[in-house]
């Protein structure tokens, strides 16, 4: 599944980024890359941005970009 379908407060692991070189590099700079654990903090109404925590950083990610982040839930 992708990041937009994760519920608020759930932890997940990034499996891959389904996007071009630009998106991959952009996310990577902020520490979002395969095998990294992230925590979804919030999502907005009507396809608004998703906020996640990676390490100790909170990052807001637009809905379309969040769709490209493929994750799996961890307990």
Partner 1 sequence: MKKILLIGNPNVGKSVIFSRLTGVNVIVSNYPGTTVEFTKGYAKIDNEIFEIIDTPGTYSLIPTSDAEEIALKLLKRGDVIINVVDATNLERNLNLTLQLLKQDKPLIVALNLFDETKHLGIEIDVRKLEEILGIPVVPTVAITGEGIKELTERLKEAKTKTYDYNEEERWQKVGEIVKEVQKITHRHHTFLENLADATIKPVTGIPIALIILCLTFYITRFIGENLIQYFLEPLYSNFYAPNIIKFIKSLNINWLEKILLSQKPEAMKGFGVLTTGVYIPFVGVLPYIFSFYLVLSLLEDIGYIPRLAVLLDIFLHKIGLHGYGTVPIILGLGCKVPAMVSTRILETKREKIIATILIILIAPCMPQSAMIISLLSKYGVKYIGITFCVIAFVGILSGYFLNKILKGETPELFAEIPPLRVIKINILFKKLWMRLRSFIYEAVPLIIFGIFIVNICEISGLVNILSKTLGPITVKILGLPSKIIPVIVFGFLRKDVSIALLSPYNLTPEELVVSSVFLTLYLPCISTFFVILKEQGLKDTFKILIFVFSIALSISSLLNLII
Is there a contact between 40 and 68 (Cβ–Cβ < 8 Å)? no
What sign for the dihedral angle of Cα 18, 11, 1, 45?
A: negative
Contact status: 5 vs partner 1 (CB under 8 A): no
Contact status: 62 vs partner 1 (CB under 8 A): yes
Pattern 12-51, binding to partner 1, x per CB under 8 A?
Answer: -------------xxxxxxx-x-------xx-xxxxxx-x
What is the closest distance, in whole angstroms, from the C-beta atom of residue 53 to partner 1 in the complex? 9
Contact status: 11 vs partner 1 (CB under 8 A): no
> CA angle 43-46-49, nearest 5°?
40
């Amino acid at each position: 599944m992708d990041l937009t379908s994760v519920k608020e407060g759930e932890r997940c692991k990034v499996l891959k980024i389904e996007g071009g070189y630009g998106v991959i590099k952009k996310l990577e700079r902020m520490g979002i890359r395969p095998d990294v654990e992230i925590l979804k903090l919030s999502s907005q109404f009507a396809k608004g941005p998703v906020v996640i925590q990676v390490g100790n950083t909170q990052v807001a990610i637009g809905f379309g970009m969040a769709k490209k982040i493929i994750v799996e839930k961890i307990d």
